[in-house]
């Protein structure tokens, strides 16, 4: 059931909010109505489209991708359920008698309260921390910058299904992304290209790679699906008999 929510005046000048498209901004506000009182919502593009943007000609997946890339929402999976969460939700939405409908991990709970700035885009279905989140692992090995006159420390490359200079994925996350973005024929090659691009970006972008990369992969995935459908239609038309 949708809920009444308040809009903080600071939202309109929030950088994350300003950098997305108008429809994505509208969707973001609408998602608040779909959230439980802890800031989580059902990650169902079909339902969100029907409830929040029923008369707009738009790709709801692309709009959600914008919000993910901007750092306004995250997607996660727990206990077999696909869910989403809103950044800083409980900081500004404070119902008198809060109740929750959807499970959260500690990372998601902190994301919704604003206690930490970055959380991974996916979590294990059993609710436990991903192996990459354990102490000594992390979403990525933080590599010390090479000090002047000194050698850079050796980078640990074991225990990763993909290990670039910035992007590092364990087997579970790599397989998850390869399955989600199945239209991409060579996930390792695509990640290699993205890793090279991230290497040229500012520190803040590199540090939030786990948050950004799924959005970029999804965009490529959707482009490939659209191209494949267009080619299939064109091939079908060519095979029609000529009267």
Say whether both 171 and 195 belong to one domain: yes
Strands 81-86 and 168-169: unpaired
Is the same domain home to 24 and 59? yes
Token look-up 């995250």 returns: 74
Confidence of residue 5 (pLDDT cuts 50, 70, 90): confident
**Tally of domains within the chain:** 2
Are residues 139 and 125 part of one domain?
A: no
Which domain-ending residue is among 96, 129, 162? 129
- Put simply, whether the predicted model's pTM sits higher than 0.75 gets the answer no
Task: Please enumerate, as own/partner, the contacts of 140-145 that have beta carbons within 8 Å and a separation of 24 or more.
Answer: 140/166, 140/167, 140/168, 140/209, 140/210, 141/168
- Give the domain extent around 72: 1-129
Q: Dump pLDDT digits (tens) for 130-159.
A: 333 333 333 433 333 334 444 444 444 347
* Residue at 184 is within a domain: yes
Least confident among 17-21, 44-48, 211-215: 211-215
Q: Assess if residue 225 is contained within a domain.
A: yes
Q: 85: which strand partners?
A: 40, 74
Q: Which residue has the higher pLDDT, 197 or 153?
A: 197
Is residue 243 a part of any domain in this protein?
Answer: no
């Amino acid at each position: 059931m949708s809920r009444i929510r308040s809009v903080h005046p600071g939202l309109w000048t929030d950088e994350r909010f300003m950098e997305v498209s108008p429809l994505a901004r509208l969707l973001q506000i609408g998602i608040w109505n779909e959230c439980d009182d802890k800031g989580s919502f059902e990650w169902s593009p079909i339902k969100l489209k029907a409830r929040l943007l029923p008369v707009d000609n738009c790709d709801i997946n692309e709009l959600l991708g914008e919000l993910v890339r901007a750092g306004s929402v995250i997607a996660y999976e727990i206990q077999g359920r696909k869910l989403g969460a809103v950044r800083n939700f409980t900081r500004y939405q404070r119902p008198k008698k809060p109740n929750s409908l959807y499970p959260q991990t500690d990372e998601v709970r902190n994301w919704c309260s604003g206690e930490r700035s970055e959380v991974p885009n996916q979590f294990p279905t059993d609710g436990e921390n991903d192996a990459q989140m354990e102490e000594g692992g992390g979403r990525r090995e933080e590599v010390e910058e090479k000090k002047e006159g000194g050698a850079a420390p050796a980078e640990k490359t074991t225990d990763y299904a993909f290990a670039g200079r910035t992007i590092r994925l364990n087997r579970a996350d790599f397989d998850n992304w390869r399955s989600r973005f199945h239209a991409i024929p060579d996930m390792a090659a695509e990640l290699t290209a993205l890793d090279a691009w991230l290497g040229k970006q500012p520190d803040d972008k590199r540090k939030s790679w786990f948050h950004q990369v799924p959005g970029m992969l999804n965009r490529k995935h959707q482009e490939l699906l659209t191209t494949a459908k267009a080619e299939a239609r064109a091939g079908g038309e060519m095979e029609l008999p000529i009267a």
